[in-house]
Each structure stands twice: as structure tokens, then as C-alpha cells.
Structure 1
Amino acid sequence: MNDRRDTVPAPPAPHLAWGGAPTLNAFETLMWRMDHFPNLRSAVVCVVVLDREPDATRIQQIHRAAAQSIPRLREKLVEVPLGLPAWVADERFELGVHLRVHPLAAGAGIREVLDHAAEMAMAPFDHARPPWEAHVVTGMKGGGAAYVLKLHHALSDGIGIVQLLSMLFSRRREIDGAPFSQVAAPSTMPGSPATLRLLGRQLERRLRDLPRRVRSGYEIVQRQVRSAEGLSGAVSELAKYAGSVRRAMAPLMAEPSPLLKARNHRWRFETLDVPLAKFKAAAKACGATLNDAYVAGLLGGFARYHRENGVEVDEIPIGMPINVRAQGAAGGGNHFAPGQLVGPLGELGPMERMRLIGAQVSRLRNEPALSAPLALMPMLVSLPSDTLAKIMGPKMAANDLQCSNVPGLREDVFLAGAQATRLYPYAPLPGVPAMISLVTHGENCCIGMNLDSAAIADAARFTRCQRESLDEILALEAGPGGKSKRAIR
């Protein structure tokens, strides 16, 4: 998710609030109901590389405590007649169903971990259980391990998932103390009688207050109408907003690339690491943001990949979520609006790409009707799932690249005695050729690339092209014309 902050917002206190509202919103409902179609599944996966195998007993304790302290982790979704899916307690909840150990063959490395994570991501969720699972991957060469967390996107966006990881991780390697000891015991549970009574009282207050709010609004309109200048201003503002709605709802002008049109909906995971300080310095030297440099670097990689395959394309359509999470919002849940950009390829340098991307992102962030497309979701989710898939499938697959940028955890973190050295994010691949996500972790930008193996037929070449393009960005650290050592792995 595109976010202007360098650090992820802290989860609310107490942590049991993580997870958002007791029902899905319309957009989350869309993602949940599309899970029946393999090409439209919305699993989010985090691959955390650990410097050693975590303590097995402690891993169990951490996840048991998390499930006890955060109600959402032991809740499942149920369909509500004439309503949106609601979270209810899973009376059959078993930690062993959600937390497993996956041993690798002797001598395995990160490639085997990524292949396992991709297979795990493509598998459908059991809709009769809470939509998350975690695997501790053991047996990596050198004594290393990995932690793979999979959640349905209806549960949370990227920022909310980092908040959850922040609660699972500790800030010291030593294994002591009770996990989640700082979390208060839940006083109310979603779906419990106490919660229902609370919701009832809230509704009662809103209904009681409705006449006053209507009268207040009417008085404001009357004052505006009495003033010709006020009326003119209101009409002008309405016209501006209507123009914003047209822009927000308009389809992208860029055509998808013919090189990337094949699809088999098989996910392949790749990684890149970029030094955070160097990346920031390069962006600053060009008067750009880290996000501008990141997206420009990805586009440079697409341009190289097209040239090496003998295909000339001047631009590609891009999808980018724009963060609309308010300060102090509940942890978890989804708080973003879909943004669309035209990604410049052609014969452009990295600085020019940064400038063009920065201008588009700035326009998106300041678009009054940025969330207007979400207003259609309540109408869409009322349709049968098959009809919905036919409508949304081509629309979601229209982009050649979906990219996001999520602030992560900057301090050293540990999981059951093992240090998390890298954290690679993998967002779902809803019919697009490439979904590429960045999370800052410690002193690194960890980039996870989820690629359709038919659209990006040569993943090794594509990864190299991305690495070379990002190296070109880092070379700008000393300013235009400066040189920098190759730093991307």
C-alpha cells in the first residue's frame, strides 16, 4: 500500500481490537466471495527469514496466546441473509489446524521456501474456519528457518498485517516472560451478548440523534441558499467533485502489453533487497519520494524486460492502492482506495520516470473522489458469484502491474528466539502478470514479486532486469551523474 509514513502505525490498545468491524465491508466481501475462483483468490503471504530455527514450544505459546488475546484470529466468516458476511466465533477452533511445521529436504534454501509459500498461497481457504494459517519452515541449510504467514485479504491490508506481526514478534532474543502479557482480557467479544447490547445502544443513540442532525443540516443549507455567493460556491464545489468522480471512474488510457498477455494463474515468488538508506538518499537527490523511486525502478525493469524480448511498449497500466487509514483507526481491516496510473516505459531515464510517477501519485492522493469506485461495491456484491467473477475478472486483470509500498518494522525483532532477518510480502495476483510489494524491514527494503508464470515466462531474466533498474536508481544517490556501487541482491 502506498503510504507516506516511514513506520507502520502502532496497533490500538488493547490488542484485542485488531481486526476491524464485526462485518466485512462491501469491498472485503467482494474479495471473500471471489475466493471460489482460483484466478481471483486474495491470499496475502509474508515470508519471514529467520537466522535459526525458533523454539518449538515457544512458537506454540505465542500463537496460542495470540488466538486467546485477539478474538479475530479465532473467528470465521458466515454469510448473513440480505447482509454482508459477519465474523463469529469458531466453536471448533484448533490451533493445530492453523499452525504447522513444514520440514524441507536437507540443504534447501530460500528458493525452496518461496516455492512452498507460493503453493501454500494458491491453496483455497477452508471457509468453515478462521482464514489464516502459519507454517514454520525448518531444515534450511546453515541452520536457518522461515516463518510463513498466510491470511485472507478480507481480514486485513498490508499495514494491518505488519501490526499483527509486530505483536507476534518480540524485541529481544531471550525467551522469557509471558507472550501477550500486556494485552487485557477481552471484556466483550464480537457476536457476544455484551457486544450486541453495546451495538444496540449505539444504534439507539444514532436514531435518537437523527432529527437533530437533519435539522442542523437543513439550517446550514438554508444559510447557504440565502447567500448568492454561498450558493455559487456550493455549485462550484459540486461541479469540482463531479469532475473528480469522472476522473476516478474513468478507465486507464494505457493498453496492456502484448508480451504479458498469457496467463496460467500459477504464482511464482521472487525476492529483491535494497538498502533503505541508499534508496532514500537516491530519491532525495532527485527531489522525489521513496515511493516514486520504487515505482520508477519497477517500470525501468519492465522496460528492460520488454527490450530484451524485442517488444517496444511506451506505457503500461498500473494499479496502486492508496492508504486512507486514519490515525488511531482500529488495527487490521482494509483501509485503502484503488488507484490507477499510466506507467511510462519508452526511452526514459529514471529521474524522468520518478517525476512522472510522482505527479500522478500526488494527483491521486489529492483527488476528492478517490474512493468513488468503492461506492459501487454494495451493488456489485449483491450479484451472484459467477456473474460477479465475469464482471470483476477482466477488470482486475486489466493492469500489467499492481504494486504496493508498506512501512514495516525498523527495530530488530525476534520470533521464539530466532531473529527475523528479512520479511518479504506477497500480495494476491488477481489475474495480473505481476504483483510487486515492498516492506521496509530493519535497514532494508524487502521486495516480494508475485509473478504469473505464463505472463512472466522468464522469471530469472525479469528479476535481473528489475535488479539492474533498481541499481540504476541507487546510482543517483550522489546526485545526477553520480556513481554508486551495485547494492541490490
Structure 2
Amino acid sequence: MLVTCRGPLCDRPRPLGGVGEMGAARHLSRMTTRATRRPWRLLGGCAPMGDTTVQFDDRLSAFDYMMFRADMDAHSRTSLMFIETLDAVPDFEALREQIDRASRVVPRLRQRVVAPLLPLAPARWVVDPDFSLGYHLRRVVLPGSGSLRELLDLAEVLHSTPLDPGRPLWEATLVEGLDEPDAKAALLWKLSHTVTDGVGGMLLDQMIHQESRDPSPEPMPPVPVPQDVTPLELTQSAVRGLPQRLVLGSLSRAAGIARRAGSAVTDPRSAVGSAARTIDDLRKLADSAAAEPSPLLRRRGLDHRFSTLDFPLADIRAAAKSHGCSVNDAYLAGIAGAMRIYHERLGVPVDSLNLAMPVNARAGGDSTAGNQWSAITMALPVAEPDVAKRMLAIRKSVLHARSGSSIDPTAILAPVLSWLPQQLLAGTGTGSLGIDVQASNVPGKVTERYIAGCRITRSVPIGPLPGVAMMATMVSFAGRCFVGVNYDTAAFSDSEALEQALAAGFDEVLGGGRGTAAISSTGTKASRMPAAAPASSSTPAPSSTPASSSKPATSRTTARKPAARKAPAAKDGDK
């Protein structure tokens, strides 16, 4: 492995010998980890994107640090969750070994955040000297009958608990006791949005999971070198470098002013055009307010509920193509249809809702596994019952939003917002902008994935609720699309009506009532989500449940959320 560090003590790439893969990480500097084919193969056969370099920066951006601090408040937590169901119960020691292997290659899994005492320098990711895999990897038994609804209830409880800010910002929970034909266990991955976004999560997925049930054994990579860095040391380092930064910053600003002044003299047409574009950007930013917030969705609380849908990727592609639209347009049309049906059922029809959607900001070929995204807002047309007209209206709205202002107010304000008092920071989410719904669409893996010898039958993404009423996230996986919905029950007071509306809304888009979408929010075993079809393998796996052939079934779970029972005591080595 090659580590490139840039700073006063290290200015050129060099191989590390005798001190482990992360020896250069002792320096408080920008760090890029380059994984060659051999270290990638150490992950147990999980193939990367050729020789692509996956980068990890050890400095938190102002926006990352803002999200890190927002996690400390229950109203603004940014935790992501991935719910993976498995076709068998994995051997816990094999699972532990695979995650341990991944944590030695992926720096973020062993790094914690250290921030200076004063806002004089960025917070840093440092390798935790007290890293304990036994803390981050848990094991529980699902109470009750082992249904998917009960799994979602457990996931809601785990998602709502805060991550320890003094440790690496992730947890993985093996859930045994699931009793479905195609799922006997589940893995619940929880990590802070500070670690990565959805696209970066897919990059991490390639490093953690495998492409076969029985990969060839590989030697264990070395443990990264711990970094014992304190907030006081970061502050002292920032104070020592403050005079130099002030001088260089002043010189840079003066040079920029002189350059622009010279350009205005030598090329006045270009200067006028630049000023006009800036004014136009400011105008577009001022006009970006979309619609009035829904009167039904104004309240916010602390109780969140999960619901999921899944359907064939080919179906939503065909539906989008038939109207000359994209998969993302069809996905948003399903959400819009669900919102129309829900509002009409409760007797408060609306024409449109405010929707925010993250957009991947990575350039082509960029494989940075952090947060590289910006957000667009738009008025989601929900009143149109005709699917074709609705989808085309959404496509027009999305294109208009993408062509809007190039000014990112979050990037401008984040350096100030990230150091606000906690109570003020908690009110700066997208909900404070009058956003009703947030939606995200992330391309996933085309092929089957495995972990600890078990096939992943579902991969359901759950996004955070940054002050909005509902967050819907779609990931494609092995020929199916999995939609995870996280919603605030104070805003959506009728859970049964919402979950039925979600199924009906996507059913409209996917075939006008063919019942292609199957909702999983059921408290009985009468209705189950169809899973991804199994890949050919030498080891037999349980068969998948076929897709439902009738209208999506749903029922509201009236029982309170059960508490998780612990599995049999782990060995000393698991603690």
C-alpha cells in the first residue's frame, strides 16, 4: 500500500516499511490511501473498480464538522443505516474476521474525530488508539416471530440511539432469529453521514463485501498505527501556524483583487459577463423557494418509522423509457403519487410539495469516499393523477433545478454554522427551509454480494431525517430497486395510510395497478418483500419468495416496539 501525505514533514509519496500501512498518518496532514490490487484482494476477493484509487482525506470540511456536531442533537441526527438480510446465519467468528480485515484496509473504520478547542483549524480524522471491534460489532436475537416488520422495528430503535462521538462513527449489528424463507439473519449497518455520502457508501461496500460465497483465503493486513492526538495539541499546532496563514491569506486575497482589476481593464467584456453571471446566480438563488409547505406535514417529533418497497429494476427502467424520462424521474413520480394519495385520503389535497434532493458532485472517475454532494430543491408536482404527465412535469422541474444557481449557500455558511451553539445548530437542517420531503437515488451493485459466506438477499438504505417529514432513499442491487423510507410520525400521523399510499404511488408508475411494488411494513407473515434472485453457487441457498401477484398488502403494527434480546454470551475475544 502507498500512502501519500502532504505537509511540512512529508512532501513526496513513499512506500512504508516496518511501521504498518498507516505509518505516515502520524503527521497531521492531508492523507490519501492508495490501494493496489494486492491489498484489495486482502479483503477476501472483493474486486475494486480496476486500479481506481479510493481516497480518504484526514481533514473534515466545515460541512462535515457541522454534521458531526449535529449528531449530538436528537432532532438533527445524520445517521445512515443499511439493512441487509442474509440467506443464512453467518458464523460470528467468520463475520468478525471479515469486518476486522476491512477495518485494517479502510481507514475510516478505525478513525475518530478530534477537533481543536478553538475554530483555528479543521477537525481531523485520527486512528483511534483505543479501537475495539467488540464495541462496534454487536449481536442480538430478534424477539417475536422473526418477521421483517419486527426487524424494521428493531432497526428503528438502533437507528435512533446516538453514535459515540469519541469513537469511530459506525456500528454493525448481527440480528439472528429472522424467520423468512429467504432470510434467516440480518446485518444492520449504522454510520454517521460525517463518514460518507450514499455514493461513497457504495465505494465502501466494495471493500467490505465479497463477490462469492467462498472466496480464496488471504493473509490478514497489518493493523493501522494508532494516533494519540488531543484537541489541545491540534489547537496548539493551529496557533503556531496562525501568523503564516494570515500572511499567506492576505497575499492571496490581494493577488486575487489585483488580478480581477487587471482583467477588468484588459478584457472589460469578460469582466462584465462575469458580473452578470454572478447577479443571475443570486437571482436564481432568491427564486429557488419552491412551494408552500404542506399543512399536514408541519409537525416534527422524535419518533420515526421505517417502511420499505422493492421492485424489479427492469420495470422502473421500462416505465421511465416509455415516457422519455430517466429512472430518477420515475422514482420521484412514485413519491409524488404517494403524496397525492395520502393528502387526498386525509382530505387536504395539495398541488405541490417542497422536495430536496442530493446531487453527486464527484467529477468523472473521482472515487473519494467522503461527502461530495450538493443539494437542489424543487416543487414536486403531486396533484397530477396521470402518470405520464406527472413524470414529464417532474423531469422539467428537475432540469430547471439543476440549471439553477451555482452558488451553494451551505458551503458558504458551513464555516460559521459548524461552530454555532448546539441549540442553534440543531435548527439549521433542511426542515428549517420549509422542505417537506427529501429523496435520494444511489446506483448500487449489479451482481450478488456476500458476507461471511452468506448471500445478501436485500439491501435497504435508510437515510436521516434532517428536520424533514420524510426521507426516501433508493438503491439498486442485483436487478432490484430497494426503497427505504424514514418518516416522522408527528408529521405523518396515519402510518397505515402513508404506507398504503407509497405502495399505490409506485404501483401507478410501474404498471398501472399490476401490483409490482410490494410494501414490507406488515406485522404478519402474510405479506413479504420479494428478494433478489439467488446467483449460481456451489453452496445451495434457500429459495426466494416470488414477487406478489396482487395488490400490495400492508397492515399497521399496533404493538409497541420490542426490546432486543441479547444472543448467548460472546467469547472473551469478542469483547
TM-score (normalizing by structure 2)? 0.73
Give, in whole Å, the separation in 2 of the partners of 1:160 and 1:391.
Answer: 24
1:393 shift after superposition: 7.6
Give a deviation string over 1:138-165, Cα, whole Å, max 9, x none. 1111461111100000111011112112
Is 1:145 the counterpart of 2:174 in the alignment?
Answer: no
Instruction: Find the counterpart in structure 1 of residue 444 from structure 2.
Output: 408
Instruction: Find the counterpart in structure 2 of residue 485 from structure 1.
Output: 514
The 1:88–1:250 alpha-carbon spacing in structure 2 relative to 1, beyond 3 Å, is: farther
Give a deviation string over 1:303-337, Cα, whole Å, max 9, x none. 00111111121111111111102234343210111
Is 1:75 the counterpart of 2:97 in the alignment?
Answer: no
Instruction: Find the counterpart in structure 2 of residue 479 from structure 1.
Output: none
Give, in whole Å, the separation in 2 of the partners of 1:346 and 1:373.
Answer: 31
Instruction: Find the counterpart in structure 2 of residue 6 from structure 1.
Output: none
Instruction: Find the counterpart in structure 2 of residue 130 from structure 1.
Output: 168
Give, in whole Å, the separation in 1 of the partners of 2:60 and 2:79.
Answer: 16
Give, in whole Å, the separation in 1 of the partners of 2:440 and 2:314.
Answer: 19
Instruction: Determine if contact 2:358/2:373 at 8 Å carries over to the other structure.
Output: yes
1:486 shift after superposition: 2.4
1:357 shift after superposition: 1.9
Give a deviation string over 1:225-266, Cα, whole Å, max 9, x none. 32xxx4223312321232223323556231111112232221
Residue 374 of structure 2 is aligned with which of 313, 337, 340?
Answer: 337
Give a deviation string over 1:117-158, Cα, whole Å, max 9, x none. 111111011111111000011111146111110000011101
Residue 253 of structure 1 is aligned with which of 271, 286, 290?
Answer: 290
Instruction: Find the counterpart in structure 1 of residue 35 from structure 2.
Output: 13
Q: Which has the larger radius of gyration?
A: 2
Give, in whole Å, the separation in 1 of the partners of 2:482 and 2:251.
Answer: 52
Give, in whole Å, the separation in 2 of the partners of 1:452 and 1:484.
Answer: 28
Give, in whole Å, the separation in 1 of the partners of 2:34 and 2:326.
Answer: 28
Give a deviation string over 1:422-452, Cα, whole Å, max 9, x none. 1111111122111000001111110000011
Give, in whole Å, the separation in 2 of the partners of 1:248 and 1:373.
Answer: 12
The 1:113–1:345 alpha-carbon spacing in structure 2 relative to 1, beyond 3 Å, is: same
Query: After the TM superposition, which residues 182-221 of structure 1 pair with which residues of structure 2 at under 5 Å, given as runs?
Result: none
Instruction: Find the counterpart in structure 1 of residue 99 from structure 2.
Output: 63
Give, in whole Å, the separation in 1 of the partners of 2:292 and 2:184.
Answer: 44
Instruction: Find the counterpart in structure 2 of residue 349 from structure 1.
Output: 386
Is 1:38 the counterpart of 2:41 in the alignment?
Answer: no
Instruction: Find the counterpart in structure 2 of residue 471 from structure 1.
Output: 507
Residue 271 of structure 1 aligns to a residue whose secondary structure is strand
The 1:414–1:246 alpha-carbon spacing in structure 2 relative to 1, beyond 3 Å, is: same
One-letter amino acid of the counterpart of residue 118, structure 1: E
Instruction: Find the counterpart in structure 1 of residue 149 from structure 2.
Output: 111
Query: After the TM superposition, which residues 164-183 of structure 1 pair with which residues of structure 2 at under 5 Å, given as runs?
Result: 164-174=204-214, 176-178=216-218
Give a deviation string over 1:79-127, Cα, whole Å, max 9, x none. 2133332112211110000001111136312111111111111101111
One-letter amino acid of the counterpart of residue 140, structure 1: L
The 1:262–1:368 alpha-carbon spacing in structure 2 relative to 1, beyond 3 Å, is: closer
Greater relative contact order, per chain length (Cα 8 Å cut-off, separation 6+):
1
Give, in whole Å, the separation in 2 of the partners of 1:160 and 1:190.
Answer: 27
* Bigger helix fraction: 1
One-letter amino acid of the counterpart of residue 515, structure 2: R
Q: Matched residue pairs, number?
A: 458
Residue 290 of structure 1 is aligned with which of 327, 330, 334?
Answer: 327
1:174 shift after superposition: 1.4
The 1:264–1:87 alpha-carbon spacing in structure 2 relative to 1, beyond 3 Å, is: same
Instruction: Determine if contact 2:290/2:378 at 8 Å carries over to the other structure.
Output: no
Residue 351 of structure 1 aligns to a residue whose secondary structure is helix
Identity of aligned residues (%): 33
Instruction: Find the counterpart in structure 2 of residue 3 from structure 1.
Output: none
Is 1:445 the counterpart of 2:481 in the alignment?
Answer: yes
Give structure 2 stretches of 5+ with no counterpart: 1-32, 41-52, 231-243, 519-575
Instruction: Find the counterpart in structure 1 of residue 50 from structure 2.
Output: none
Residue 24 of structure 1 aligns to a residue whose secondary structure is coil
Give, in whole Å, the separation in 1 of the partners of 2:384 and 2:341.
Answer: 10
Give a deviation string over 1:394-428, Cα, whole Å, max 9, x none. 515x2110100001111111111111111111111
One-letter amino acid of the counterpart of residue 162, structure 2: P
Instruction: Determine if contact 1:90/1:129 at 8 Å carries over to the other structure.
Output: yes
